[in-house]
C-alpha cells in the first residue's frame, strides 16, 4: 500500500481526485549511464500491486524510452541553440550598416531577453579608464533611457566583473551581494538574476550580461547558463567589432577634421587617379565661394561633379598625371613649385538653376570654357569669356604628389597637395621691383609682421636726381622722355640692387634707395651705399658715352647720402600702401642731394656716413662745409665724395686739395686774407671749382663785414 510507505510524499506522488494504492517508479538512463528521467506508474489495474514481472517487462523497453528522451532533449537543445544563433544573427545583422555601440547593446540584449524569457536584460560595459560598469536602461515611465554607472567592484555585476564567475540567484534580496539602490532609483523590483561575464576574442573581460526575473516568477536553470555562455561568446565578438568600428569612426572624423582645417588643398585618389575625397581648401582653390561652404546643396552638387573624376581633369596642371602615375608605380614623392592653375567660375543664366559652375579653358589662352571639363559638352553648352558671366581665376600653387600606402607598404592610392601661393607670388613680384630677388626671398621667408608693419632701423639713404632735367627734356617728345628715364633708371636701379639696396621710390626724375631695410645687411650699409654711388658715377659715364655717339645731350646727376635712424614700414592708406622710410636721415639725404647744385659736385655724403665708412682710412673726400640745413638746429659736416682711399689722384689734384684744405683752416680761424691767398692758389689749379669760388666770395664779404664774435664757421641754408 503506497501511502503506508515512508518514502511516499503526498505533495508530489498524488493526483487530483485519485486515491493512490500502488506505485512503480523506474529510472531511465541514457547510453552514458546518466539518469535522464524517472517513470512513475500508479494503481495496477485489476490487482492490488505491481509485480516483479511488471518491473522486468518495463525494463525491456526502458532503453527505447531513454533513446527517445535523449534524442528529444538533444533536439530541444539544438533547436534552442539554433534559435539563439538566429536571434544573435538578427541582433547583429544590422551592425554591418551602423556598427553603433549603443544600438548593438540594445539589439543584443533584447534578443537575449526574449530567448531566455526574462523580464529585463542589461549589458554592462567595462570602462577601464574610470573602473566603472556602465549601461543604459529603460525606466518605468518609458522615458529617455537612463545611463547608470556603478563601481566595477560593487553589486552582483561588479562581483562578476571582478571574479569572472557566473552568478545565478533565485531571490536577489536574499543575497548579500545584491545592491538594491538601482531598484530604488528606477522603481523596479528585482527577483531572480543570472549574471555572466563577456569576454573579447582575446580573452579580455569587456562587460557583464545580467538577466533579471525569469518569466512566471521562476529562476534561471543550468541550461540557461550554458546557452547564455554561448550567447555571450558571440555577443563579445559583436561588441568588440562595434567598439573597434567606433574607434575607426572617431579616428576617421578626427582625420576629416584635420583635413578640413588644413589651409592647403588636399585631394585623395584611387589607383586610377580618380578623386575620392577633397577638402574645403581644394574646393576654394577651384573657386567655390567661401560663403557657400555651409550650404550642403551647393557642396553636394560640386562633389557630385568632381568625385570620381580624374584628378588631372579637375586640376589641369602640367605633368600631374605623369607624376601621380609615377607615385603609383614606384612609390615616388614629387614636389613641383610654382605651377599655374587656370579655371573659370560661371554664373550665366543659361546654365539653369545652378548658381555657380566650374569651367575650364578649352586650351591654354583660350576664351572658350568647358563646364565641369565634361568631355561630352556640346557646342551649345560651351562658355565664352567675352559674352558669358565668367570670372577667370588664375592660381599659383606648389604641387606635392605622394603615394597612399596601407600598413604593409602597398600603394593603395595617391595624395595630391596644392599649396596656394598666389598672394606670395604677387608679393614677390612687387618686392622684386624694389629689391634684389635674394633680399625679396629673405623678406618672404622671415614672415615677420613687424618688419613690414613698422620698426626703427639704422640705415643709409641715397637720393639721386638728374641735373637740369627740365632744360634737358623741354624739346623732347613725351615718348623720348619716357625712353630716356627708363633707360637711365634701368642702369641706376641695377647699381642699387647689386649693392643690396632697396629701391624705395621714384620721384619724377629722382630715385630714393635704402640700404639696411627691410632686412639688416651683413655688410656695412653705409659702405654699400657709397659703393653704389661710385658705381652710379661710372655707369653714368658709360651711359653718356653711348649718348655722345647718338648725338644726344649729356646727363648729369646729383647724389646725397646720409646715415641714421629712421622709421621703416608700410605707410599709406587702405587703398594704397608702400614700404618706405621716414625720419631726419631721409630729409638730410634729400637736402644733401639739393646741395650738389650749390657746391657743383655730383656726390655729397654726411659726416655720419663718412664716419660709418671708416673716415679717411677708407675714403678720399673733400670737406665742403659745416652747414645747418633749413628746419634743423644741429649743424652737420658735409663732404664731396672723391673715391675710395685706393683711388689714385694726380699730382695736380693732390696739390689742389692741399691748397683748398689749408684755405678752409684759415677760413674757420677767421684769417680771411690768408684764406683768400690759399683759395686763389687752388683756383689757379682748377679755375672752375665752385666751392673755391664760394669761399673766395665769403672771405671777401667777411673782410668788409667781419662776422660776430660768436661766429663758428657754420653756413646756414635758407632753401631746401
- Are the C-beta atoms of residues 15 and 42 closer than 8 Å to each other? yes
Q: Of 560, 664, 645, whose CA–CA distance to 602 is shortest?
A: 560
Of 412 and 23, which is predicted with more confidence? 412
- Are the C-beta atoms of residues 682 and 660 closer than 8 Å to each other? yes
Residue 86 lies in a domain: no
Maximum distance among all Cα pairs of the chain, rounded to whole angstroms: 179
pLDDT of residue 47: 77
Mean of the per-residue pLDDT values of the chain: 83
Cell of 46: 485489476
Q: Are residues 288 and 410 in the same domain?
A: yes
Mean per-residue pLDDT for 223-234?
A: 81
Residue 79 lies in a domain: no
Q: pLDDT tier at 102 (50, 70, 90 boundaries)? A: low
DSSP-derived 3-state class of residue 522: coil
- Are the C-beta atoms of residues 501 and 462 closer than 8 Å to each other? yes
Q: pLDDT tier at 349 (50, 70, 90 boundaries)? A: low
pLDDT of residue 685: 94
Cell of 73: 532533449
Range of 10-14, 218-222, 670-674, 714-718 with top mean pLDDT? 670-674
CA dihedral 462→467→470→475, nearest 10 degrees, is -120
pLDDT of residue 123: 85
Instruction: Give the chain's domain count.
Output: 5
pLDDT tens for each residue of 372-402: 888 888 888 888 877 667 888 888 888 999 9
Q: Could you tell me the CATH number of the domain that includes residue 19?
A: 3.30.450.40
d(CA 428, CA 437): 8
d(CA 23, CA 44): 8
Q: Are residues 656 and 715 in the same domain?
A: yes
pTM here is 0.50
Residue 430 lies in a domain: no
Give me the residue label for grid cell 530604488: 184
Q: Could you tell me the CATH number of the domain that includes residue 536?
A: 3.30.70.1230
Tell me the residue range of the domain where 570 lies: 436-647
DSSP alpha helices (H): ranges in 331-476? 422-432, 437-446, 449-453, 469-473
Range with the poorest average pLDDT among 4-18, 57-71, 670-684: 4-18
Q: Are residues 599 and 667 in the same domain?
A: no
**Number of helices and strands (H, E) in the chain?**
20, 25
Give me the residue label for grid cell 658715377: 537
Q: Are residues 203 and 279 in the same domain?
A: no
pLDDT tens for each residue of 62-100: 788 888 887 887 777 777 667 666 666 665 554 444 456
Catalogue the long-range contacts made by 294-298 (C-beta closer than 8 Å, 24 or more residues apart): 298/355, 298/356
What DSSP character marks residue 373? T
d(CA 263, CA 361): 26
- Are the C-beta atoms of residues 599 and 626 closer than 8 Å to each other? no
Q: What percent of the chain has pLDDT over 70?
A: 84
Q: Of 94, 98, 119, 96, whose CA–CA distance to 108 is shortest?
A: 94
Q: Of 48, 56, 47, 46, whose CA–CA distance to 26 is shortest?
A: 56
Q: Could you tell me the CATH number of the domain that includes residue 383?
A: 3.30.450.20
Q: Are residues 625 and 481 in the same domain?
A: yes
pLDDT of residue 96: 44
Residue 87 lies in a domain: no
Whether the bond into 518 is cis, omega within 30 of 0: yes
Q: Are residues 618 and 497 in the same domain?
A: yes
Please spell the DSSP secondary structure of 273-308, one letter per residue.
Answer: -BEEEE-HHHHHHTT--GGGTT-HHHHHHHHHHHTT
Residue 427 lies in a domain: no
pLDDT of residue 201: 82
Mean per-residue pLDDT for 468-476?
A: 84
Range with the poorest average pLDDT among 20-24, 136-140, 399-403, 589-593: 136-140
- Are the C-beta atoms of residues 664 and 656 closer than 8 Å to each other? no
- Are the C-beta atoms of residues 606 and 592 closer than 8 Å to each other? yes
In the chain, what is the straight-line distance between the N-terminal and C-terminal CA atoms, in Å?
Answer: 148
Q: Are residues 608 and 697 in the same domain?
A: no
According to DSSP, the residues that pair with 314 across neighbouring strands are none
Q: Are residues 373 and 355 in the same domain?
A: yes
Mean per-residue pLDDT for 599-603?
A: 95
- Are the C-beta atoms of residues 704 and 672 closer than 8 Å to each other? no
pLDDT of residue 430: 62
d(CA 212, CA 219): 9
- H or E segment to which residue 61 belongs: helix 52-93
Nearest 5°: the CA angle 288, 290, 295 is 85
Amino acid at each position: 500500500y503506497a501511502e503506508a510507505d515512508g518514502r511516499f510524499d503526498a505533495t508530489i506522488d498524488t493526483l487530483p481526485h485519485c486515491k493512490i494504492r500502488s506505485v512503480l517508479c523506474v529510472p531511465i538512463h541514457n547510453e552514458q549511464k546518466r539518469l535522464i528521467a524517472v517513470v512513475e506508474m500508479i494503481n495496477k489495474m485489476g490487482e492490488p500491486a505491481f509485480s516483479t514481472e511488471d518491473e522486468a517487462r518495463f525494463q525491456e523497453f526502458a532503453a527505447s524510452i531513454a533513446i527517445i528522451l535523449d534524442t528529444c532533449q538533444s533536439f530541444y537543445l539544438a533547436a534552442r541553440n539554433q534559435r539563439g544563433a538566429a536571434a544573435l544573427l538578427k541582433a547583429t545583422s544590422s551592425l554591418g550598416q551602423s556598427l553603433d555601440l549603443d544600438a548593438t547593446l540594445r539589439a543584443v540584449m533584447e534578443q537575449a531577453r526574449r530567448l531566455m524569457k526574462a523580464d529585463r536584460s542589461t549589458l554592462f560595459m567595462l570602462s577601464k579608464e574610470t573602473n566603472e560598469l556602465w549601461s543604459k536602461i529603460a525606466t518605468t515611465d518609458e522615458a529617455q533611457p537612463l545611463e547608470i554607472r556603478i563601481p566595477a567592484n560593487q553589486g552582483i555585476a561588479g562581483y562578476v566583473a571582478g571574479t569572472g564567475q557566473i552568478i545565478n540567484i533565485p531571490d536577489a534580496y536574499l543575497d548579500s551581494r545584491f545592491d538594491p539602490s538601482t531598484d530604488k532609483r528606477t522603481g523596479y523590483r528585482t527577483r531572480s538574476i543570472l549574471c555572466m561575464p563577456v569576454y573579447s576574442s582575446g580573452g579580455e573581460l569587456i562587460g557583464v550580461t545580467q538577466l533579471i526575473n525569469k518569466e512566471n516568477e521562476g529562476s534561471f536553470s543550468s541550461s540557461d547558463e550554458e546557452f547564455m555562455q554561448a550567447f555571450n561568446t558571440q555577443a563579445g565578438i559583436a561588441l568588440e567589432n562595434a567598439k573597434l568600428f567606433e574607434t575607426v569612426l572617431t579616428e576617421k572624423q578626427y582625420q576629416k577634421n584635420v583635413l578640413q582645417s588644413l589651409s592647403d588643398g588636399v585631394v585623395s585618389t584611387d589607383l586610377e587617379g580618380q578623386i575620392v575625397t577633397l577638402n574645403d581648401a581644394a574646393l576654394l582653390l577651384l573657386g567655390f565661394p567661401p560663403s557657400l561652404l555651409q550650404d550642403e546643396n551647393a557642396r553636394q552638387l560640386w562633389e557630385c561633379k568632381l568625385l570620381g573624376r580624374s584628378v588631372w581633369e579637375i586640376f589641369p596642371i602640367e605633368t600631374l598625371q605623369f607624376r601621380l602615375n609615377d607615385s603609383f608605380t614606384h612609390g615616388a614623392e614629387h614636389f613641383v613649385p610654382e605651377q599655374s592653375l587656370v579655371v573659370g567660375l560661371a554664373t550665366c543664366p543659361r546654365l539653369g538653376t545652378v548658381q555657380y559652375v566650374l569651367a575650364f579653358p578649352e586650351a591654354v589662352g583660350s576664351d572658350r570654357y568647358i563646364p565641369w571639363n565634361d568631355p561630352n559638352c556640346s557646342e551649345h553648352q560651351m562658355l565664352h569669356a567675352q559674352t558669358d558671366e565668367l570670372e577667370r581665376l588664375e592660381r599659383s600653387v606648389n604641387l606635392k604628389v605622394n603615394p597612399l600606402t596601407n600598413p604593409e607598404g602597398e600603394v593603395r592610392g595617391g595624395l595630391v597637395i596644392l599649396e596656394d601661393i598666389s598672394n606670395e607670388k604677387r608679393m614677390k613680384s612687387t618686392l622684386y621691383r624694389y629689391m634684389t630677388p635674394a633680399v625679396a626671398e629673405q623678406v618672404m621667408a622671415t614672415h615677420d609682421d613687424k618688419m613690414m608693419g613698422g620698426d626703427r632701423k639704422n640705415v643709409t639713404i641715397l637720393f639721386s636726381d638728374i641735373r637740369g632735367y627740365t632744360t634737358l627734356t623741354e624739346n623732347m617728345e613725351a615718348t623720348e622722355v619716357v625712353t630716356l628715364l627708363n633707360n637711365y633708371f634701368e642702369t641706376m636701379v641695377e647699381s642699387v640692387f647689386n649693392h643690396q639696396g632697396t629701391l624705395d621710390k621714384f620721384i619724377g626724375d629722382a630715385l630714393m634707395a635704402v640700404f639696411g631695410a627691410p632686412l639688416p645687411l651683413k655688410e656695412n650699409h653705409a659702405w654699400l651705399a657709397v659703393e653704389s654711388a661710385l658705381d652710379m658715377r661710372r655707369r653714368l659715364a658709360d651711359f653718356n658715352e653711348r649718348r655722345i655717339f647718338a648725338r644726344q645731350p649729356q646727363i648729369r646727376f646729383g647724389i646725397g647720402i646720409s646715415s641714421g635712424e629712421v622709421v621703416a614700414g608700410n605707410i599709406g592708406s587702405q587703398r594704397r600702401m608702400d614700404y618706405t622710410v621716414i625720419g631726419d636721415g631721409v630729409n638730410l639725404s634729400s637736402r644733401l642731394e639739393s646741395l650738389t647744385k650749390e657746391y657743383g659736385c655730383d656726390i655729397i655724403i654726411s659726416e655720419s656716413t663718412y664716419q660709418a665708412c671708416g673716415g679717411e682710412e677708407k675714403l678720399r673726400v673733400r670737406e665742403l662745409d659745416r652747414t645747418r640745413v633749413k628746419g634743423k638746429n644741429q649743424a652737420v659736416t658735409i663732404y664731396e665724395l672723391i673715391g675710395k682711399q685706393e683711388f689714385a689722384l694726380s699730382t695736380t689734384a693732390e696739390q689742389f686739395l692741399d691748397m683748398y684744405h689749408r684755405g678752409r683752416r684759415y677760413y674757420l680761424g677767421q684769417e680771411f686774407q690768408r684764406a683768400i691767398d690759399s683759395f686763389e692758389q687752388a683756383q689757379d689749379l682748377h679755375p672752375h671749382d665752385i666751392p673755391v669760388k664760394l669761399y673766395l666770395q665769403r672771405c671777401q664779404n667777411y673782410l668788409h663785414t667781419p662776422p660776430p664774435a660768436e661766429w663758428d664757421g657754420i653756413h646756414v641754408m635758407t632753401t631746401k
